[in-house]
A and B are shown apart, each in its own frame.
Chain A
Amino acid sequence: KAGVTQTPRYLIKTRGQQVTLSCSPISGHRSVSWYQQTPGQGLQFLFEYFSETQRNKGNFPGRFSGRQFSNSRSEMNVSTLELGDSALYLCASSSESGTIYFGEGSWLTVV
């Protein structure tokens, strides 16, 4: 069974640009959540989608948004990138049992 797949793995963007990250959950998992990991703040919850609806949201500005498609795949978007947005962005999927599995992450560097 394939795990959580995230693309791209690495990317470099310039301040002011926008970026879209993609996530394919484990087959059969309907919940997809996103996390940001930085050295200073650790792992922080961004938002969760379930059946194409945002179910929970963390404390991030509106520049961070996401969506989920009917096949449970999800994308997150960050607009007007800032240097502080440089981080590892992790996608996770969970089944009804509640165990949450993470992908390898997308490393974003903003220059």
Chain B
Amino acid sequence: EIVLTQSPGTLSLSPGERATLSCRASQSVSSSYLAWYQQKPGQAPRLLIYGASSRATGIPDRFSGSGSGTDFTLTISRLEPEDFAVYYCQQYNGAFGQGTKVEIK
């Protein structure tokens, strides 16, 4: 069973700063099956990135995904106020990472 570990647990940043979120898999994961989701309080998750680097429909280009093998990264180039949320990575058998909270510093 592949386990996804996200780091850091919490990221404290200011609007306009760059956010770099990490997702590490316990075994190699096909890039085709790595996704990122955003969840705001009281809302359902939203698909941001699929196939490790492809943006979902309607997702701003400040969000980007990269990585392969066991190490994947979600980058938010310049944080907007609406980007402060919890982010989850997920791989093809459905397993999610534990989440990274991006909070306002």
Answer yes or no: do A and B interact: no
- B residues within 8 Å of A by Cβ? none
